[in-house]
Amino acid sequence: MFQWAKDEQINFDLKQKGILHIYRDKGRLRPRRQGLATAQQRRPGTPGSNPDEMRAIEPTLAGNYYGGFFTESDATGDIHKFTHGLAQAAERRGVTLKYGHSVQGYRRGSTTRLGHCQCRYQQRTGA
């Protein structure tokens, strides 16, 4: 995705420095950590497992924390700038975007999906 955004010249203030996930109690941390290990996104020895390691990654942390984990491959950015750039890239490739409409269903090949999606997106200018 990052290469695609670069190729399409979508500037969304991307920061590829990883994300520190913080949990104040064991009950919330354990299922998240197990889920990441199952998905092989967290390797044993990944920094940020205990409060001391977390503060080594982010020295400005204050308060009490049970633990957490750091995902090096995660990144952050401005989602509004990204989606605006995504819309512009789609239009350059021939997509017609329609704002202020309700989606009742869609067709892909011979399959029709019915449902309802009320989209409340307003196009921003100058992003």
* Percentage of the chain exceeding pLDDT 90: 26
* pLDDT tens-place string over residues 80-115: 999 999 999 999 999 998 888 887 777 777 766 666
pLDDT at 99: 85
* Backbone region of residue 98 per phi and psi (left: phi > 0; alpha: psi in -120 to 50; beta: other values): beta
The answer, yes or no, to whether residue 127 has pLDDT greater than 50, is no
pLDDT at 92: 94
pTM score, two decimals?
A: 0.58
